[in-house]
Amino acid sequence: MKIIIGVIIGLIFSGFVSAKPLLIEGNLDKWSPLAFVGETQYQPIMDMEQGVVLRAESVKSASGFEYQKSIDLNKTPVLQWQWTAQFTPYAMVMDEQGIETKQQSFDERDASGNDFVLRVMVSRKPLFGDAKSIHYVWSHSQPIESHWSIDSNNHVIVVSGDGQTTMKWQTLHRHIQKDWQKVFAEKIEEIDSIMFMTDSDTIGGHAVGYYGDMRTLSIKPMEENAANE
């Protein structure tokens, strides 16, 4: 109870006035499995700092979980989540002498290197056409706040990485409406789903990361301009 009260007080004084929990202490009851290639292993574990979190280990796999409920961005435009990386995707490559070496020199911006130790996606499907998604990622090589298109419907924004310490928990806040306007030049009022995934299938590699709690937040009007700072 003291922990819950402390979280509420912290949100109030930080400018956030209400919160809608999405993922708390690794509980996936509200989430559905999402599989692309193989099966990334998600295991609830006890962390001394965060309590129960999800450990995600990908071995040549790409799968995760999806929260499939509409979220009103006019009420709760900010997504908050916690994560940390243990190691970013790498592949073992054998040379002509039969010696294996660790390979991490792939380009995440290219289709042949589209793997991330930590990825949170927000998605919206219009009445006509395909769904669009923003992918918030922990990158092993690209600068924080850099962004690029995977295709016309998927855009990556780097929010972590860039020499940051691994196994150190981060709490991130993103104003979804502002990010959507920036990358798709569209004003939206809701999203249809939120997903998270750890993947290493493209390079045929291995990656381990951890996901903590996730929630959407409303903010005071005076704080809106600073939501993504």
Q: How confident is the model at residue 4 (pLDDT cuts 50, 70, 90)?
A: very low
Per-residue pLDDT, 127: 81
166: Cα separation from own chain's centroid: 15
pLDDT, tens digit (0-9, with 9 covering 90-100), for 58-111: 999 999 999 999 999 999 999 999 999 999 999 988 777 778 788 888 999 999
Q: What is the DSSP string of 55-120?
A: EEEEES-EEEEEE-S-EETTT--EEEEEEEEEEEEEEEEE-TTS-EEEE----TTSGGG---SEEE
- CB count in 10 Å sphere of residue 35: 13
- What whole-number distance in Å separates Cα of residue 42 and Cα of residue 167? 17
DSSP β-ladder status, 132-139 and 154-161: parallel
Question: What SS3 class is residue 13?
Answer: helix
Asked if 124 contacts 189 with a C-beta cutoff of 8 angstroms, the reply is: no
Q: Which of 3-7, 42-46, 76-80, 167-171 has the lowest mean pLDDT?
A: 3-7
* Domains detected in the chain: 20-226 (2.60.120.260)
pLDDT, tens digit (0-9, with 9 covering 90-100), for 123-179: 999 888 899 999 999 999 999 999 999 999 999 999 999 889 999 999 999 999 999
Asked if 59 contacts 206 with a C-beta cutoff of 8 angstroms, the reply is: yes
Q: Give alpha helix (H) positions in the chain.
A: 2-13, 176-184
Asked if 23 contacts 120 with a C-beta cutoff of 8 angstroms, the reply is: no
